[in-house]
Structure 1
């Protein structure tokens, strides 16, 4: 049995409770409200809802490039680098990124892994020695689902993906697809595939939002990457008013996969509250693929982030949720409990 004490952000609404989280056999046994001398802030570890870990081999290589030049299949800089990368170098680079994510408070990520079955295997190998379990959305032939946890499609304008969608449905695993990143033309075709997750939706309009709400399709947004690529700003307020919205960091080649940076950027540039952003960075990503984490509640997996509330950066902050979302950095992480 382990006890994690401090100001605990409890439940779906992250109510601040002075007390401790009791952990037994990897699960939260109880949250006990009691006085404590600890200045730590205890919250769910982050779930990064959209990553591309493969391009860890090409960090900052796409500076100044457009979306098509940087990451679009099949001939962008990213795909050329992935095609020529030595497998050992690729695995080592992804492993370093996973270690960075763990040290900065992320316990899970939903990764779109390029390069078919070989790419999915490479990520499994990268995660093996690391205290991290990525949820892999595989690509290419549907046989990738023998290795991956779900299927991740590039976009409905690239292919019809009907066979891949059917294969995912047959196996009972999620099907995710990019939509509305360069423009709105692929949003309706993506929704026609009955996806379990849409990624980006920058150019979503009223008709798209109505379909998303009617079909209860969650969306992952990546506002920092969208800014770097110059493709626009996702309508996060409108999306939140229609469906579940999760937060991701997108391509490692474009930005470090820091959920602290993503949260602060989102909170300061969009019409959202700090509580909403924290939910996007934790609970929402877990809900999208049925992970049993993302919330501090009895029975949930104990995947917790402990932040030093008395660090030089955070000492004196008046609201623990705003402190975590708008101000905290990886330097404030005391430990990650898994």
Structure 2
């Protein structure tokens, strides 16, 4: 028997988020129709987010490390984050990660791309944390090839921290995803990262024309994490310049430093940079989904039914004029009235 449901509202349809009044028809986890017709509601129907860069293990140490610099906070192997992870029990780490994942899910996040510390054990911890939730983790193991083999790919810390040639070769042979941090504190590790032919780069705060040209030539997407970059004192990425050269997605980075809220990240990115609200919403949805190889981030026929509904008559949103700007600049978790995270078999 078919599982069918209908969601009504002002729908942000397609990859450009055309706002139409109508209905989204879902059957067995897939969007089968987006129908334009009058509806008696101001609700906004939004494609679910993809948080394209997370470190949820940090959930055990929220807001630790006041006045520490980037290396002192998160640099392997002995940054504060890594020390706290070693001290925490497996059960404590899993429970904390589960709470962060549940928070993301309640805010309309369908998936995250997780850089998972702790080798194979860390990958297994993420699998335990996400079990029973509707949010999906595209988990990239770290520190050893065996972690990649147990995960969806490999997430490298940065070219200055190691060679990573062996890990890149093994990941490519396995047909899995390879991402790497680059240009976070300075531009010195960007060429080394690009030499590994990554599937995507994270941060790219400090770039020079040669780096942008190489990114454009190779069509390497970038994940920007502006709130994290500001907190760690490394500066903020020039999102408009990056967008002129490649596809840019959005991530919230370390839970230690920031809540994993895509609403907060979007608002910050939009007000920080010279890009449109529409582009920021693309960063938060199908740009991240493209990196992860997921069939979501778009409300259109034949896409997975991963979306959420904002109460257009909430105290915060009532009277909105531009639904895309309202989602990016104003909406928050309290405005979410329904989350639908279904995947077609």
TM-score range, shorter chain: over 0.9
**Matching of residues 75-94 of structure 1 within 5 Å:** 75-94=78-97
TM value normalised by structure 2:
0.97
Query: How far has the Cα of 1:305 moved from its partner?
Result: 1.2
RMSD: 0.7
| 1:11-63 deviation digits (Å, cap 9, x = unpaired) | 11000010011100100001000010122100111100100000100000022
Question: SS of the residue aligned with 1:124?
Answer: helix
Match of 1:177 in 2: 180
Partners of 1:74 and 1:299 lie apart in 2 by 44
Partners of 1:38 and 1:78 lie apart in 2 by 46
**Matching of residues 4-153 of structure 1 within 5 Å:** 4-153=7-156
Conserved 8 A contact 1:7-1:16: yes
Partners of 1:289 and 1:224 lie apart in 2 by 22
Query: How far has the Cα of 1:233 moved from its partner?
Result: 1.1
The answer on 1:240 being equivalent to 2:239 is no
Query: How far has the Cα of 1:129 moved from its partner?
Result: 2.2
Partners of 1:246 and 1:62 lie apart in 2 by 27
Query: How far has the Cα of 1:107 moved from its partner?
Result: 1.1
Match of 2:324 in 1: 321
Partners of 1:17 and 1:138 lie apart in 2 by 41
Match of 1:165 in 2: 168
Query: How far has the Cα of 1:80 moved from its partner?
Result: 0.3
Partners of 1:135 and 1:254 lie apart in 2 by 21
Partners of 1:234 and 1:160 lie apart in 2 by 25
Conserved 8 A contact 1:117-1:140: no
Query: How far has the Cα of 1:311 moved from its partner?
Result: 0.4
| 1:224-256 deviation digits (Å, cap 9, x = unpaired) | 000001101111111101111000000000000
Partners of 1:235 and 1:317 lie apart in 2 by 29
Give the ranges of 4+ consecutive aligned residues of structure 1 lying more than 3 Å apart after TM superposition: none
Unmatched 5+ stretches in structure 2: none
TM value normalised by structure 1:
0.99
Match of 2:335 in 1: 332
